[in-house]
Amino acid sequence: MASISFFAFSAALLVLLFFSSWSLAQNPAPTPIAPENACNSTPYPYFCKSVLPQNQSGSIYDYGRFSVRRSLSVATKFSTLVDRYLRARLTLSTPAIRALEDCQLLAELNMDYLSSTVNTISSTGSLPSLETDDVQTLLSAIMTNQQTCLDGLQSTTSAWTVVKNGISTPLSDGNKLYSVSLALFTRGWVHRKNKAKGRKLMFSDMEVGRHAAGRLPLIMSSRNREMYESVSRRKLLQTTVPDVLVREMVVVSQDGSGNFTTINDAVAAAPNNTKASDGYFLIYVVAGIYEEYVSISKKTKYLMMIGDGINQTIISGNRSVVDGWTTFNSATLAVVGEGFVAINITVRNTAGAIKHQAVAVRNGADLSTFYSCSFEGYQDTLYTHSLRQFYRECDIYGTVDFIFGNAAAVFQDCNIYARLPMQGQFNALTAQGRTDPNQNTGTSIQNCNIRAASDLASSSGTTKTYLGRPWKQYSRTVYMQSFIDSLIDPAGWMAWSGDFALTTLYYAEYNNTGPGSGTTDRVTWPGYHLINATDAANFTVSNFLLGDNWIPTTKVPYTSGLL
CA distances from 526 to 503, 505, 522, 534 (A): 5, 8, 12, 20
- Burial, 513: exposed, middle or buried (Cβ in 10 Å; 0-12, 13-18, 19+)? exposed
Are 201 and 545 in contact by the 8 Å Cβ rule? The answer is: no
Q: What is the sign of the dihedral through the CA atoms of 7, 9, 11 and 14?
A: negative
Whether residue 335 contacts residue 362, with contact meaning beta carbons closer than 8 Å, is answered with yes
Which of 554, 550, 558 is CA-nearest to residue 341?
554
Residue burial 428-438, b: 16+ Cβ < 10 Å; e: rest: bbbbbbbbbeb
Contacts of 205 (CB under 8 A, 6+ apart): none
Calculate the CA 537 to chain-centre distance: 21
Question: Which residues contact residue 268 at a Cβ distance below 8 angstroms, ignoring those fewer than 6 apart?
Answer: none
Amino acid at 40: N
Cβ atoms 373, 355 nearer than 8 A: no
For 422, which DSSP code? S
Buried b (16+ CB within 10 A) or exposed e, 343-371: bbbbbbbbbebebbbbbbbbbbbbbbbbb
Q: Judge contact between 465 and 484, C-beta under 8 A.
A: no
Is the four-CA dihedral 295, 300, 305, 310 of positive or negative sign? positive
Contact (CB, 8 A) for 272 and 298: no
List, as own/partner pairs, every contact residues 273-277 make where C-beta atoms lie below 8 angstroms and the sequence separation is at least 24, other chains included.
Answer: 273/299, 273/301, 274/247, 274/301, 274/302, 275/301, 275/302, 276/201, 276/203, 276/302, 276/339, 276/550, 276/553, 277/203, 277/207
For residue 164, the tally of other CB atoms under 10 A from its CB is 13
Q: Which of 395, 401, 436, 548 is catalytic?
A: 401
CB count in 10 Å sphere of residue 304: 25
Q: Counting beta carbons within 10 angstroms of the beta carbon of residue 424, is it exposed (0 to 12), middle (13 to 18) or buried (19 or more)?
A: exposed
Sheet holding 400-405, edge to edge: 294-296, 333-335, 361-363, 382-384, 400-405, 427-432, 465-466
Question: Catalytic residue at 401?
Answer: yes
Distance, in Å, from the CA atom of 252 to the CA atom of 294, rounded to the nearest integer, reads 13
Residue 437 CB-half CA count within 13 A: 12
Pairing outcome for strands 415-418 and 395-398: parallel
Q: Which residues are catalytic?
A: 401
